[in-house]
Amino acid sequence: MSTTTTQSGSGTPAGNAPSRPGKTGATELVSWKAGIGLSLLAILGTVLFGFMSNSKSAGFGIAEAANEAASSVAALVTFVLALLLSVWFVYLWFTRRRSGLASGSGTVPGWLPASTVAAVVVLGLAALGVAKVSKITLPSAAVGWIASVILLGLAGYTVYRTQAKKTTPRWVGGTFAAVFLIGFMVWIVAGGNGDEPSISLAGLIAGSVTLAVPLVFGSLSGVLCERVGVVNIAIEGQLLLGAFSAAVVATVTHNVYAGLVAAAVAGALVSLVLAVVSIKYLVNQIIVGVVLNVLISGLTSFLFSTLLTADPDGLNKPGRLPPVDIPFLSDIPIIGPILFHQSLVGYLMYIAVIVVYLGLFHTKWGLRVRAVGEHPQAADTVGINVNRTRFWNVLMGGAIAGIGGSFFTLVSVDAFSKDMSGGRGYIALAALIFGRWNPIGAFLAALLFGFADNLQSVITIIGSPVPSQFMAMLPYALTVFAVAGLVGRSRPPAASGIPYVKG
Amino acid sequence: MSESNTPRQANEVESERPETLDDEVVLDVALDTADGAMAPSVIPATSQGGQIPHAASGSVFRQIVTGNAMVSVLSVLLAIVLGGILMAVTNPKVAETAGYFFAQPGDMLTEVFRPYVALVQGSIFNWAAADTAGQLYPITETLTVSTPLILAGLGVALAFRAGLFNIGAQGQIIFGALFGAYVGFTWHLPFLVHLLVVVIAGLVGGAVWGGVVGLLKARTGAHEVIVTIMLNYIANFLLLFLLTTPAFQRKGSTNPISPFLDQSALFPELLGPQFRLHAGFLLAVLATVLVWWLLKRSTLGFEFRAVGANQSAARTAGINVPRAVILVMAIAGALAGLAGIAQVSGTEKYLSGGVAASIGFDAITVALLGRSTPWGTFFAGLLFGAFRAGGVAMQAQTQTPIDIVLVIQSLIVLFIAAPPLVRAIFGLNPRKKTKATGGPGSGTMPSGKIESGAATA
């Protein structure tokens, strides 16, 4: 989880411009947003985790492995690998940084800090596995107060930096988010019923990844469309029609994989309408998206009520895509069950994220796509067919969202029901914005939202000081903060929403 | 792009005229987006004025046939036909009667038209009822159902005119209902005063939730579509939470519903207790008149429209754009809040988790169908209210799921948003020349007439 929070919080310091350390720009505007925001959050954290903490302790269960021997071997191998990687990353980071300071031009590449943090987290988890820890118990009051002090300290540091007209380093936001999350988790679990309330950490995170699958597919669809300059509000419709077609086709053909393909086709079909109406007929893309969502909701509900309920065995009994274990990797304690015990759709998710990321940022195609989304006139001038690029990208986005929709009927539940996407298309939209129109960012944001979703159901079971409705609100509130610029700066592709007219 | 209403030589205009459908769309959009600098407005600027600039010439007949009113009518027609096909295909009885179609065609046709007959019977006039009251009941039901649709639709339409896409009517309805209902069941005031206070509370509630969007948009540039979608969810969860607290939950009830509002806080029934029609409908008419006045006659409305047409130009002209954005969202929210009051003080009489139903989303389609004009929204609200009211009766009588109404509504809006699409389907493209349709006589009847119209121009 900490990689997620690092990513989402890393932009918190105002002024994302690559400012060189030590250089105070008197003319540079340093916003007070970060300082004020962090201070408020720190005070909130102190009140909740410190003053409102109780004497109980919070337990975090760590799932036992199914295969003892394989598990300990896997844990050891992972531990060694993670250790080597961590050392290598830290070494790289420091040498790059030093050379950067010396020459004044080189900077640490953007992927390095995130990768380092990820490697260290994996290292820590593997260490838990090697040591065969089955449960961590933390006293809530002590952890709460320590977290509060760190939060207040970080907020104070930010305010001090802002006062001195310096930009706050990026690690402050990341650390703040991580500490806040830990404090929050301990507080909320300790507030549960019973003498020593505990939750299964591995189960919580594994559930989050599962819940995040449709969100990730949806937000990738959004990334592909928005990067090319088409706003895709119709994600919800794409998910829903994907779910519907997957259920029907898988039932009729008695083949789950045919259902998966049908879901992709259905998503692309929704995209086709979006593309034709918004690119050819130049209708406002937001309108088309909103209307398509209503249309798909009405259409699937209508067909469900008429055809599917009349003949559930013949039309709405798709069967399931079983979870597949990847040999060796799934034996790694904690990490294995979370990441490598997925259905086919789950693995497709990882592939889709990587492919979309590499495609967008490391290929000629991606460069063209982004050019079309940022400045279509310029792209046209160098000979890129703007509207054709848009058309195919939107179609591809729809297919991806459609596959995400199949998760509902082929993985999560094995039958279609009315409006079963339940607004997740809109959360995917939020994840896309929270992830700043970047596939990796969208993936992490979707994980965060999946985590919030799962945490809500978990703490409802153990009982909690926070009403579940507020937990459910969290993704939406975070998104409002994100678009309002309180959590970093989010800027959509410049030409997003504007049709291109050659002329 | 140089084409305008300036008088020119006929042949010159002819030569500059776009030749194909695409060209025509391009002209519209160029006009609408300031040559590709902005996103196209919700309702194309060209159709807001009621005239297509480059279709100014031509016979009267051609203008009527290719005009926007015709497109609206055709859109509704097309959507109803498509909905009918969908219902016919999914209805097993239709397939059954189609088996002996040539022997007894009446059976199948009856079966195909039965849902729509039920729809009309449930929304306008029930000729099968025993007495006059029963016969008139459907139309009063339509008016009742349209009341919140019209009010919320006005809110969405007003924001559209200022260039803002207000998807947040749902949340604003909830907030209006929340404030109004609380005042309605906790305070105990005399008859008319209480209702007035409840209405004001609803206005305030909606205005607060809408104003937040305007504030965020004006101060931080946050996109209103995203903010409103998120605020809808936040409002909904807040409502669900509050309904579990002692302040809102009905005494002795385990369900998340509020106590009934005081009798003094309810809208009076207009036609007696056997009809549900309440004075909220008059409020909707009043609100329509007020919004019309605001947009057409007031300085503020002029500012809204200027901001909607072109923000930069409005700023240059000295209009305080942030102020206009905040105000228009607050007023839009207040109108949606009134819709919430129409629910709690009119039809529902108490607050529940489903108080806003799907009114907030229907309101978007209502405003789009009404082309964001106050009276257009009013009649669109009536039409969709009729669909809703009739849909309930249709479901009861013919077992056709009410979801078909959603399909028809969204199809209508989709077609209306893309006039060139509808014109292309019906062959009514005003620009279509012999080149596009082939020789004379090969086209459909209407396009043939257009050609003759064009020839006389």
Q: Which residues, other chains included, contact A190 with Cβ-Cβ below 8 Å and sequence gap of 6+?
A: A53, A54, A56, A57, A58, A140, A197
User: Is pLDDT above 70 for B45?
Assistant: no
User: Is pLDDT above 50 for A15?
Assistant: no
A358 touches chain B (CB under 8 A): no
**Model confidence over A180-195: pLDDT tens digits?**
888 888 888 887 777 7
Structure tokens at A501: 């007219």
Distance separating alpha carbons of residues B192 and B183, to the nearest angstrom:
14
Closest CA to A345 of A323, A330, A329: A323
Q: Do B421 and A377 touch (CB under 8 A)?
A: no
**Model confidence over A332-383: pLDDT tens digits?**
777 777 788 888 999 999 999 999 999 999 999 999 999 999 999 999 999 9
Distance separating alpha carbons of residues A359 and A375, to the nearest angstrom:
19
By CB neighbour count within 10 A (0-12 exposed, 13-18 middle, 19+ buried), where does A236 fall?
Answer: buried
Q: Do B237 and A301 touch (CB under 8 A)?
A: no
Which one of A298, A472, A497 has the shortest CB-CB distance to B410? A298
The pLDDT value given to residue B197? 95
DSSP state letters, B335-399: HHHHHHHIIIIIIS-S-BTTTTTTHHHHHHHHHHHTTT-HHHHHHHHHHHHHHHHHHHHHHHHH-
**Span B60-70, average pLDDT:** 64
**Span A381-398, average pLDDT:** 94
Strand order in the sheet with A135-139: A135-139, A57-61, A198-200
**Model confidence over B368-394: pLDDT tens digits?**
888 889 999 999 999 999 999 999 989
The pLDDT value given to residue B32? 62
Residue of A nearest to B416 (CA): A283
User: Is pLDDT above 70 for A64?
Assistant: no
The gap from C-alpha B356 to its chain's centroid, in whole angstroms, comes to: 16
**Span B21-50, average pLDDT:** 56
Residue of B nearest to A309 (CA): B401
Q: What is the ipTM of this complex?
A: 0.80
B405 touches chain A (CB under 8 A): yes
User: Is pLDDT above 80 for A20?
Assistant: no
A203 touches chain B (CB under 8 A): no
Specify the 3-state DSSP secondary structure of B176: helix
Q: Do A281 and B42 touch (CB under 8 A)?
A: no
Place of tokens 């028809």: B408
Structure tokens at A391: 């058309």
By CB neighbour count within 10 A (0-12 exposed, 13-18 middle, 19+ buried), where does B292 fall?
Answer: middle
Place of tokens 């015990």: A341
Q: Please answer whether residues A181 and A1 qualify as being in contact, where contact means their C-beta atoms are separated by less than 8 angstroms.
A: yes
The pLDDT value given to residue B40? 62
User: Is pLDDT above 70 for A60?
Assistant: yes
The gap from C-alpha B362 to its chain's centroid, in whole angstroms, comes to: 7
The pLDDT value given to residue A361? 93
The pLDDT value given to residue B23? 58
Q: Do A282 and B25 touch (CB under 8 A)?
A: yes
Structure tokens at A88: 């290598």
Distance separating alpha carbons of residues A238 and A265, to the nearest angstrom:
10
Q: Best interface-test mutation with B: which of A277, A449, A501 has the largest number of B CBs within 10 A?
A: A501
Q: Do B417 and A480 touch (CB under 8 A)?
A: no
Of residues B69 and B267, which shows the higher confidence score?
B267
User: Is pLDDT above 50 for B153?
Assistant: yes
**Span A42-58, average pLDDT:** 82
Q: Do B230 and A430 touch (CB under 8 A)?
A: yes
Lowest mean pLDDT among A28-42, A390-404, B278-292, B330-344: A28-42
If one counts every other C-beta atom within 10 angstroms of the C-beta of residue B218, the result is 18
A423 Cα to chain B: minimum distance (Å): 9
User: Is pLDDT above 60 for B448?
Assistant: no
The pLDDT value given to residue B236? 93
B211 Cα to chain A: minimum distance (Å): 14
Phi, psi dihedral angles at A61 (to 5 degrees): -75, 145
User: Is pLDDT above 70 for A26?
Assistant: no
Indicate the pTM of the whole model: 0.83
Confidence of residue A478 (pLDDT cuts 50, 70, 90): confident
Q: What residues does each domain of chain B span? A: 2-69+419-456, 147-379
- Chains A, B: CB contacts within 8 A come to 166
**Model confidence over A123-177: pLDDT tens digits?**
887 787 777 777 788 888 888 889 899 999 988 888 888 888 777 777 787 888 8
The pLDDT value given to residue A25? 41
User: Is pLDDT above 60 for B15?
Assistant: no
DSSP state letters, A354-410: HHHHHHHHHSHHHHHHHHHHH-HHHHHHTT--HHHHHHHHHHHHHHHHHHHHHIIII
Distance separating alpha carbons of residues A399 and A262, to the nearest angstrom:
9
User: Is pLDDT above 80 for B8?
Assistant: no
Which of chain B's residues have a Cβ under 8 Å away from the Cβ of A282? 25-26, 28-29, 40
Closest CA to A232 of A269, A271, A272, A266: A271
Confidence of residue A487 (pLDDT cuts 50, 70, 90): low
Distance separating alpha carbons of residues B263 and B271, to the nearest angstrom:
17
